Chains A and B, each alone.
Chain A
Amino acid sequence: MSEPLLSVRNLETQFFTDDGTIKAVDNISFDLAPREILGVVGESGSGKSVTSLSVLRLVSAPGKITNGQILWKGRDLLTLSEREMRAIRGDDIAMIFQEPMTSLNPLYTVGNHIQEALLLHQGLKGSAARERAIAALEEVGIRDAPSRIDAYPHQLSGGMRQRVMIAIALSCNPDLLIADEPTTALDVTVQARILDLMRSLRDEKQMAILLITHNMGIVAEMCDRVAVMHQGKIVEMAPINEIFASPRHPYTQQLLKSIPTLDSAPKTQLATVSWHPTPEQAQNAQLVEVEAGHSVSAWAV
């Protein structure tokens, strides 16, 4: 196996609130290889978004990374200065979010956004930056890019805004794209096009993707491997075919069974998810490899 691009080791992120301390991410470890798509699935509160924010050191107070290492090409991001970290963000690792409207400044045109990224990370200015920005928009399938570049975010549809976000993220040729529920707010047909786009960009640019989602359909269609999170822990991690064909952890098993599909039996109750760890299980939750690349909580082996 090639050297991992990203290696997260024993990451722990806690939130210190008036009501006590919450371990949002509880001692998780995973690797991401170059051009690999790793899915991180789980329900709200499982820690999947906090994991992705932790990788970029974007967790803000009252949250704090309290332990672990985030090795990026061998260098621990947790030891970098904020200035060094800024160079990593966007340049090496880019991120897109669920709701592009809140990530775009309404007073700036599409072009302003992309050109800002190009200036900050590549020192490109003027007509060179504009040309590069138009090319970036064309790359993500925005038709009529030379005129769209002067549009404001509110003049674009949700799908177009997400394409713009991807264009900004990709403008500096990152080696890793972190996509946090990138299509959750979009219609299915638009979602399908954005997923196709992400996949083809991975193939063309050899970019790895960390894909945070609650949608197992998207996982099945997009990912090479998947990590299943529950209450801040990774409970199971496996290649995509393995996880669907032979899930080992009861939570994964129940989650997969509970999903309605186009082939679900009409008018028939869905299976539900009831698993919660017993105290002994919680004590014995460290991942153990059961087959090549397939790990599961120790107690479930």
Chain B
Amino acid sequence: MQPLLEVRNLTKHFPAKSGMTGSSGNVVKAVDGVSFDIAQGEVLGLVGESGSGKSTTGRLILRLLEPTSGNVHFEGKDVFALPKHQLRELRKEMQIVFQDPYGAFNPRLTVGNIIGEALELRGVPKGNRASTVAHYLEMVQMPANVASRYPHEFSGGQRQRIGIARALAVEPKFIVADEPVSALDVSTQAEIVNLLLDLQKRLNLTMLFISHDLSVVRVLCDRVAVMQHGLLVEVADSEQIFRAPQQEYTRELLAAVPIPDPARARRKAA
């Protein structure tokens, strides 16, 4: 079966700025020849430390950034070959959920309008919008009456629910979730992880889940890709990554995670 998403030799070099003039001729190889597939209904975790290139990879796939080279095929379509005016079509199929959805919302729009914009993209008639907005709010376990309120009135966890509702309202086939629970408190994080698990199962969503938190990746992902310095170090089933990592760097990452169990903690002095 053909994968939903095929990434081949994806590369993004940024010009390196140094000195007063800002041009040195050097490049930063943010993503340096990355290849992987994601099957329909699969959740692939993309993990690595800051600067590893994981977020850049997510943005390239959605063509929020133009690549230096390489390609991405979505349902067989060459994403980078699409003319700019067809990107709107692409946005209906691929959506993104950010770490801090607040930065991604227009503060002057009500929640109803924020989700309504997504519905407009999908061509939902105006008359049906209010009820459809309510439907998506219900999906993220929020009451319909929040539609008339503004993003600043909500807590981080609630905003993340709204961000997820907006992404889902387009009925995408694929979602890039970029650190969606990293900024949340422990208890809120658990709720959003549960919501993502539930929605993924119910809607058979395909997801690229970008995170530096390996424990959350353990709960959510079927497969895991480990990135370092713009390169994929290891890609394997979740079980393999967590039980029998093959690469030294993967082992190093796992070993660095503090274990919430004093009986097994490594750092404990005698």
B-contacting residues, A115-174, CB 8 Å: 158
20 A/B residue pairs, CB under 8 Å, sorted by A:
A43-B188, A188-B212, A191-B258, A214-B185, A217-B259, A220-B260, A220-B262, A221-B259, A221-B267, A244-B261, A244-B263, A259-B190, A260-B190, A260-B193, A266-B239, A267-B222, A269-B197, A270-B193, A273-B187, A273-B190
C-alpha gap A87/B55 in the complex (Å): 45
- Is B256 in contact with A219, judged by CB distance below 8 angstroms? no
Which of A188, A258, A259, A263 has the most CB atoms of chain B within a 10 A radius of its CB?
A: A188
A-B contact count (CB 8 A): 128
Q: Which of B23-31, B66-74, B98-106, B213-221 contacts A (4 or more CB under 8 A)?
A: B213-221
The smallest beta-carbon distance between B86 and chain A, in angstroms, is 35
- Is B267 in contact with A222, judged by CB distance below 8 angstroms? yes
B248 interface contact, C-beta 8 A:
no
Interface residues of A (CB under 8 A from B): 43-44, 158, 187-192, 195-196, 199, 203, 214-222, 240-241, 244-245, 254-256, 258-273
C-alpha gap A256/B259 in the complex (Å): 12
B206 interface contact, C-beta 8 A:
no
Main secondary structure of the interface of B (DSSP, over half): helix
Residues of B within 8 A of A266 (CB): 218-219, 221, 238-239
Please name the residue on chain B nearest to A251 by beta carbon: B187
Please name the residue on chain B nearest to A271 by beta carbon: B190
- Is A195 in contact with B187, judged by CB distance below 8 angstroms? no
- Is A272 in contact with B194, judged by CB distance below 8 angstroms? yes
Please name the residue on chain B nearest to A268 by beta carbon: B219
Residues of B within 8 A of A222 (CB): 267
* Contact among B221, B257, B265 for A262, CB-based, below 8 A: B257
Residues of A within 8 A of B50 (CB): 158, 187
Interface residues on B, range: 35 or more
C-alpha gap A279/B190 in the complex (Å): 26
From known contacts A44-B185, A260-B216, A267-B197, infer whether A187 and B258 are also in contact, taking CB-CB under 8 Å. Answer: no
C-alpha gap A178/B255 in the complex (Å): 26
From known contacts A188-B253, A191-B256, infer whether A262 and B186 are also in contact, taking CB-CB under 8 Å. Answer: no
- Is A260 in contact with B215, judged by CB distance below 8 angstroms? yes
Residues of A within 8 A of B263 (CB): 241, 244-245
B268 interface contact, C-beta 8 A:
yes
A-contacting residues, B185-204, CB 8 Å: 185-191, 193-194, 197-198, 201
